[in-house]
């Protein structure tokens, strides 16, 4: 595939591997972005839209979107800050997956118990910029200067092994489940930031004719994310108990309420967060709702 085949197409950067890749593939399918990616090719054309997907390391995507010709991208919030691209890109959507925390970790059995204890010592990380900013502020607060300042050293992988192998007194690394951290005998003593996957676009309009397509893709992805987060809840309720029921299920904006043929009964349809639905159903039953039905959403527009 040559550059000519990309002319006029919106460029959309996707993480080529790692913790975000599979979720991104599911997101594209839900948004009906159809493509066939040939083996070993990191660029492919979307079949039903004038879009080209570009598969890149997640850490590179903010720079390509912020300073290159790429229009949209999916990456981690932490990666944007580490690349110092927050002034060049806009977070169009938080995507709700890839959630993790960038945390300061030290050996659980060691003498260091707080970040104050770690200040002035050796810290290893693959997030050199964020760790430098965090400990730079801590050093300034404690009045540490010159050789007394915290030493930040970059490594590209196996960060969690740095303490056991004598390279560091503490590390700054991403934590998802915490299994790797605990297996290495580490525990977290501070959180630098919380992160998740985000859809980003450039702060500058690169091609005005792509604006409507960017809005379309953003709306479709927002619909997929909402469909994963919410269910449709329908129930019948006596009219005099409607106010109590709508306090339990207010919906994203407002419930849809329709009269039933039976006098003084109403039908209510409302979106409810999936993680809350069991408790909401119990509360509705106590209020007097009947015929409570829950429907999963495949897609929506919100």
- Of 156, 171, 206, which one is at a domain's C-terminal end? 206
Q: Does 88 lie in the same domain as 202? A: yes
The pLDDT tens digits for 43-91 are 999 999 999 999 999 999 999 999 999 999 999 999 999 999 999 999 9
165 falls within a domain:
yes
Average pLDDT over residues 201-207: 89
221 falls within a domain:
no
What confidence tier does 205 reach under pLDDT thresholds 50, 70, 90? confident
The pLDDT tens digits for 207-241 are 889 999 999 999 999 999 999 999 999 999 999 99
Q: Using CA atoms, how far apart are residues 171 and 165, in angstroms rounded to an integer? A: 12
Q: Does 110 lie in the same domain as 81? A: no
Residue 236 belongs to domain with CATH number = 3.30.70.120
The greatest distance separating any two alpha carbons of the chain, rounded to the nearest whole angstrom, comes to 81
Q: Does 64 lie in the same domain as 201? A: yes
Torsion over CA: 89, 94, 96, 99 (sign)? positive
Q: Using CA atoms, how far apart are residues 19 and 22, in angstroms rounded to an integer? A: 7
- pTM equals 0.85
- Of 175, 195, 215, which one is at a domain's C-terminal end? 195
Per-residue model confidence (pLDDT) at position 19: 81
Pairing of strands 89-94, 197-202: antiparallel
215 falls within a domain:
no
Q: Which residues lie closer than 8 Å to 294 by C-beta, 6 or more apart?
A: 231, 232, 233, 234, 277, 281
Q: Does 202 lie in the same domain as 87? A: yes
Q: Does 57 lie in the same domain as 121? A: no
Q: Does 148 lie in the same domain as 93? A: no
Q: Does 88 lie in the same domain as 28? A: yes
Q: Using CA atoms, how far apart are residues 302 and 298, in angstroms rounded to an integer? A: 13
Q: Does 25 lie in the same domain as 166? A: no
Q: Indicate left, alpha or beta for 292 from its phi (over 0: left) and psi (-120 to 50: alpha).
A: beta
Using an 8 Å Cβ cutoff, are 231 and 244 in contact? no
Residue 202 token pair: 């450039």
- Identify the domain containing residue 74 by its residue range: 3-98+197-206
Q: Using CA atoms, how far apart are residues 201 and 11, in angstroms rounded to an integer? A: 11
Q: Does 15 lie in the same domain as 92? A: yes
Q: Which residues lie closer than 8 Å to 159 by C-beta, 6 or more apart?
A: 124, 125, 126, 171, 172, 173
């Amino acid at each position: 595939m040559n550059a000519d085949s990309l002319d006029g197409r919106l460029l959309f950067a996707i993480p080529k591997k790692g913790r975000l890749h599979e979720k991104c593939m599911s997101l594209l399918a839900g948004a009906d972005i159809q493509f066939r990616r040939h083996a070993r090719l990191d660029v492919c054309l979307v079949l039903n839209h004038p879009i080209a997907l570009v598969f890149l390391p997640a850490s590179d995507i903010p720079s390509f979107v912020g300073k290159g010709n790429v229009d949209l991208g999916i990456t981690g919030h932490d990666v944007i800050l580490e690349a110092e691209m927050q002034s060049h890109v806009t977070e169009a959507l938080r995507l709700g997956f890839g959630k993790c925390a960038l945390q300061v970790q030290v050996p659980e059995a060691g003498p260091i118990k707080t970040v104050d204890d770690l200040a002035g010592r050796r810290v290893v990380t693959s997030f050199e910029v964020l760790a430098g900013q965090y400990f730079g502020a801590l050093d300034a607060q404690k009045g540490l200067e010159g050789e007394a300042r915290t030493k930040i050293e970059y490594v590209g992988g196996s960060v969690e092994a740095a303490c056991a192998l004598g390279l560091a007194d503490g590390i700054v690394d991403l934590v998802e489940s915490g299994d790797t951290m605990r297996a290495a005998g580490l525990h977290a003593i501070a959180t630098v930031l919380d992160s998740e996957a985000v859809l980003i676009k450039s702060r500058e309009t690169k091609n005005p004719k792509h604006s409507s397509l960017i809005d379309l893709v953003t709306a479709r992805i927002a619909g997929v994310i909402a469909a994963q987060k919410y269910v449709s809840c329908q129930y019948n309720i006596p009219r005099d108990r409607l106010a109590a029921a709508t306090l339990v299920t207010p919906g994203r904006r407002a419930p849809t309420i329709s009269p039933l043929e039976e006098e003084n009964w109403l039908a209510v349809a409302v979106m409810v967060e999936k993680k809350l639905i069991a408790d909401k159903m119990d509360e509705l039953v106590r209020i007097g709702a009947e015929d409570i039905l829950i429907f999963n959403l495949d897609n929506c527009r919100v």
